[in-house]
Amino acid sequence: MPLVLLLAISMIINASVVYAKSPEYGLNFNNDKIHAAVWSPDAEVIYINVYRDCESQSSLFSKALIKLPYGNWSVSLDDSLIGYTYSFSIQRNGQNSREVVDPFVKSTCANGNRGTFLRTDAIIPEGWEKDKFIERKKYDPLILYELHVRDFSIDPKSGMSNKGKYLAFSEKYSNNAMGKPSGINYIKDLGVTHLHLLPVFDFASIDELSDKPKYNWGYDPQNFFVPEGSYSSIPNNPKSRILEFKEMVKSIHESGLGVIMDVVYNHTYYLENSNYQVWAPGYYYRQNEDGTYSNASACGNELATEREKVRELIIESLKFWMNEYHIDGFRFDLMGIMDIPGMKLITEELEKINPGVVLYGEGWLAGSSPLADSLRAMKANMKKIPGISAFSDEIRDGLKGHWSEEKDKGFVSGKPGMKASVKFGIAGASEHPQIDYSKVNNSDFAWAENPWQCINYVSCHDNHTLIDKLKISAGNYDEALLKKMHLLAQSVVLSAQGIPFLHAGTEFFRTKYGDHNSFESPDSINMIDWSLVSENQESIDYLKALIQFRKTNDAFWSVSKNEVNRKLKFLDGDDSELIVFSLKSDDDERGFNEALFLFAGVGTEESFILPDGQWSLQFTGFAKAENKMLEGKITIQGPEAIILTR
């Protein structure tokens, strides 16, 4: 059996002992001293190497750390070194490793290869002490809006000065080239509740010192406690990224929006060249039975989240982002690689800081893993972790067609047999007696303990944008009809139980010109084209009105499957291609007593007899209606969404 595997096994066996004796890792500042604590159980000697600044090529001095029990090491330095930089070297078998930063490093030079002696809590923008989490209770309404920091402002016509940078979010009143609102004031006006930012902690795939940095989504984690430097105005000034990140969060909060961080704790960018391998060979990464490294992330490795030191690293990182940067919630990339006990502990620890913290993730993985199925934080196991939500790929593929089959159609583009999958999401992935689960794609049972666990969406950064998918798959339809299909899909998402999730720019038909995997494509493909706001004001106004309709009616925010079953009734027949459901409210003073939703995909034309009584027409033709009263039989021709209330 390989030595690294034996080491890993021994650490797992003794994990509870090691974890119980953990000091506060990383840097701590007190009593005129800088204290550093690290963990490396098989190291012979560890040195800290001190440099004058980020540009220095030679160290001023090196100092050996003191070895403590349970694999811990520490060193104290004079706080006159604040502002200097540092690295570590680990000696095994008489040989020094390359220089690395510690896993808990919180401030770095450009490209994250050297740490800095800085107190991050002392680097704050004006008014930071008044900045707080967006106040919310656990089941308060959420509408999520996913965007990439660089995409947000890099368009030459965006009207924002700090293009591609954190500081663009601090530009409160920008306009596009045609004078229409752009940036944070536009998003605030749209009515969503939280911004979901693609990865913003330090990732390794971008050269932060390049004058023309390459593009990347950022799913390549390097340092879990450090903001990404390529989005700061001065990447090699360690204070810049810290201050500007906080400026961004403060500005978003001042706009009434919460901040969700997209976090990647399932793998790291490197394996053999990773700092974690230097600190504890074989420990941080999961292995197969034969000692080879497993790869459920499809990125070359997967973190062993079930091991105590890995779990501690993840939890302390999340707590740090909440306490230091006031982050309101987290989206976990490939959450199915992470272990359920760890996710439970994450929930418990983060709710102590903010009871309203928002937690959700991808309830799947990208390859096989040696972690037992019963321990994976996947959709099938969501009832074991009721404080966390997961994406519904059932409604996603049901509405637009399978994500990996470009020409596959869905409900909105006229494919028969998709109704059950769409209804699955409408019920918030919670058990409903009117859904035939044998006809649902991707799942054959209701996996959500409550509808709040279900994230309903039809597009995100991954794969084709919605309008691009429809252009490829729907057939030879003109642009106007394709846009109606697009709006129909978003109408369903915003009418369903659970939590709606919107891809930035979907409200004005954002395109990536057919690029289905734009993770490293240029800005010309990925950027938000703010001119589309001026060209698609009617669709923006429609979705804005639908968002407001949702936010002001409690019927959409059921917190249990029993409440869903009491409020939500499907009225369409098995032989119909329509989806029709009624939704009753417990508080008609806040909105309607009952609403009726009729959805028809392209190619469908049917009549429907309204339940007895008069109904007020709220939405039709993908626009806000003028409260026309209807009763009796109505005809709907797809693609169409009709919403009525009484």
At 426, list the tokens: 């409408």
Task: Return d(Cα 375, Cα 381) in angstroms, integer.
Answer: 8
HEC readout, 189-233 = HHCCCEEEECCCECECCCCCCCCCCCCCCCCCECCCCCECCCCCC
Whether the Cβ atoms of residue 337 and residue 264 lie closer than 8 Å to each other: no
Instruction: Report the DSSP beta bridge partners of residue 42.
Output: none
Residue 272 known to be catalytic: no
Q: How far apart are CA 74 and CA 46, in angstroms?
A: 9
The answer to whether 321 and 293 are in contact (CB under 8 A) is: no
Query: How is 467-533 classified by DSSP, letter by letter?
Result: HHHHHHHS-S--HHHHHHHHHHHHHHHTTSSSEEEEETTGGGT---TT-S--TT--HHHHS--THHH
Active-site residue (options: 262, 362, 393, 594)? 362
415 token code pair: 């494919």
397 vs 384: CA distance, rounded Å: 25
Q: Rounded CA gap, 203 and 213, in Å?
A: 13
Residue type, 31: N
Catalytic member of 333, 339, 397, 529: 333
CA angle at residue 21 from 20 to 26, to 5 degrees? 115
Angle at 303 between CA 299 and CA 304, to 5 degrees: 145
C-alpha to C-alpha distance for 631 and 646, rounded to whole angstroms: 11
Q: Is 615 buried (19+), middle (13-18) or exposed (0-12) by CB count in 10 A?
A: buried
The whole-angstrom separation of Cα 426 and Cα 395 is 8
Interatomic CA distance for residues 345 and 349, integer angstroms: 6
Residue 537: which residues within 8 A CB-CB, separation 6 or more? 180
Radius of gyration for the alpha carbons in the chain, expressed in angstroms and rounded: 26
**Residue 405's beta-bridge partner residues?**
none
Q: Where are the beta strands (DSSP E) in 310-467?
A: 329-332, 358-361, 389-392, 454-456
Cα distance between residue 523 and residue 308, in whole Å: 40
624 near 545, Cβ under 8 Å?
A: yes
Greatest extent of the chain over all pairs of C-alpha atoms, in Å: 87
Token representation of residue 126 = 């004006």
Q: Known catalytic residue: 333?
A: yes
> Is the bond preceding residue 639 a cis peptide, omega within 30 degrees?
yes
Quote the CA–CA distance of 590 and 550 in Å, as a whole number.
Answer: 11
Phi, psi of 443 (to 5 degrees): -150, 150
The whole-angstrom separation of Cα 176 and Cα 188 is 16
SS (H, E, C) 47-106: EEEEECCCCCCCCCEEEECEECHHHEEEEEEEHHHCCCEEEEEEEECCEECCCECCCCCC
Structure tokens at 551: 């936010």
Catalytic residue ranges: 333, 362
